[in-house]
Structure 1
Amino acid sequence: MRYIRYASIAIFAIALITIGLANRGAVTLQLVPEELMGVAAVAPSVQLPLFVVIFFSILTGLLVGFVWEWFREHALRVEKRRKEQEVDTLRREVTKLKGESRKERDDVLALLEDAG
């Protein structure tokens, strides 16, 4: 199983390197479209290799997806936490009730019930 994981990582790394080498050309990223440059007081632009833009876009998409999913699952986490607290409360209550029932019965029988 470990070798399959290493092979997958190697294939993924080779694919990323190939994409990076194939897209080395510089592209200009502009914050404002050319038609609106006259209206905007500032029109920032930057020259980057295309593979940086591609990898940054993929990373940004992954981060947005993770954050979106984290917010979506918030209700599930709250429900899980509530149920865990309820289970803990019920366990304490059962332990307390078992302790009270032992007081009324013989100690030997109580020990046998706990073992079984």
Structure 2
Amino acid sequence: MRLIRLIFVVLLALVLIAVALANRQVVTLNAFPAQFGQYLGGTWSVQLPLFLVILLAVLIGMVAGLVWEWLREAHLRREVSYREAELARLKQSPGHHAPNLRPQDEILAIVDAPKRMPSSPRPIPSAEPAPGTTLPSAPRG
């Protein structure tokens, strides 16, 4: 696994160096359209090599994706911390049992349920009365 990671990093470095060498010309990067920038006071532009603009755009996109996912998963982290605190509280209370923590999936609940073995075999029901028993007679009218 280490070798694969090393090969990937070396290939990525070679691609980034090739992009940097192929795009060394200086470009002007404007933050706003030309007419809008004059109302804000200043030029709001900078001259950078093109490879730096490309790499900065990729870096900003990666950071934006990281922040987006971190915010999207905040409710999951909150739920995990709540459940960990609840579990710790239940483990520390000596006289209390944990609530019935059954699986939410019905199939898993059936599979995980303990199997009950019958203590004695059940008799097979039949239409005949059991030996030694009598049926009550019908009243005569």
Question: RMSD of the alignment, in Å?
Answer: 1.9
Q: Residue 55 of structure 2 corresponds to which residue in structure 1?
A: 55
Q: How far does residue 47 in structure 1 lie from its aligned partner after superposition?
A: 1.1
Q: How far does residue 32 in structure 1 lie from its aligned partner after superposition?
A: 2.8
Question: Is 2:37–2:44's contact at 8 Å kept on the other side of the alignment?
Answer: no
Deviations, residues 51-94 of structure 1 (Å, cap 9, x unaligned): 0000001111111111111111111011000100111112122x
Q: Residue 88 of structure 1 corresponds to which residue in structure 2?
A: 88
Give the Cα–Cα distance (whole angstroms) in 1 for the partners of residues 72 and 95 of structure 2: 40
Structure 1 stretches lacking a partner, 5+ long: 99-116
Identity of aligned residues (%): 41
* Greater fraction helix: 1
Give the Cα–Cα distance (whole angstroms) in 1 for the partners of residues 88 and 37 of structure 2: 63
Q: How far does residue 39 in structure 1 lie from its aligned partner after superposition?
A: 4.9
Relative to structure 2, which stretch is displaced further, 26-35 or 80-89?
26-35
AA in 2 matched with 1:13: A
Q: Residue 46 of structure 1 corresponds to which residue in structure 2?
A: 46
The structure with higher relative contact order (CA 8 Å, sep 6+) is 1
Between structure 1 and structure 2, the one with the greater Rg is: 2
Q: How far does residue 35 in structure 1 lie from its aligned partner after superposition?
A: 4.1
Give the Cα–Cα distance (whole angstroms) in 2 for the partners of residues 40 and 92 of structure 1: 61
Structure 2 stretches lacking a partner, 5+ long: 97-141
Q: Residue 26 of structure 1 corresponds to which residue in structure 2?
A: 26
Aligned residues: 96
Q: How far does residue 41 in structure 1 lie from its aligned partner after superposition?
A: 3.6
Deviations, residues 16-54 of structure 1 (Å, cap 9, x unaligned): 111111111110112232344565542232111000000
